[in-house]
Amino acid sequence: MLALASCGLPHTVAGNASQAPVSTATVTAPSTPAVTAPVPQTVFVPPPQTVTAAPAGVAASSQWYAQQSWINAQPGVAITPAAGQTPCQWLFVRGYSYAQAYAAWARNGYPASWSATNDGYPCQKSYGMQH
């Protein structure tokens, strides 16, 4: 026999009949929650941006105009030099800044012919030393 007197429930003593419980409690187990899958969403990812890196031997620069993000933001320039004129001379005569000439050089694949001194900086004969 169990002694349940400490719980407030009647108990039986050998030879005595049990009495009815003082109170009754009903315990209900919680129901299982419904699981709902999230609604699928469409995510748009922009295509990758092509970035042209300077070739080996081209000096890295901390100049703001040498930053790839700025170069990529510049409009393309169709350079059409006259006979005997370099692309740098063409840009200079038309009023382009050195930064714009640098961007044009980068956007045209860093041609070695734009750097008379082969030091990785273009148009020095037209614009002077800029670094």
Task: Answer whether 79's CB lies under 8 Å from 103's CB.
Answer: no
- The pLDDT score that the predictor gives to residue 7 is 53
| CA atoms of 104 and 107, how far apart (whole Å) | 5
Give the confidence band of 87 by pLDDT, cuts at 50, 70, 90: very high
Is a pLDDT exceeding 80 seen at residue 80? yes
Is a pLDDT exceeding 70 seen at residue 50? no
> Which residue has better confidence, 45 or 7?
45
Burial 43-57 (b: 16+ CB within 10 A, else e): eeeeeeeeeeebeee
pTM of the model: 0.51
| CA atoms of 93 and 123, how far apart (whole Å) | 12
Residue whose token pair is 């063409």: 90
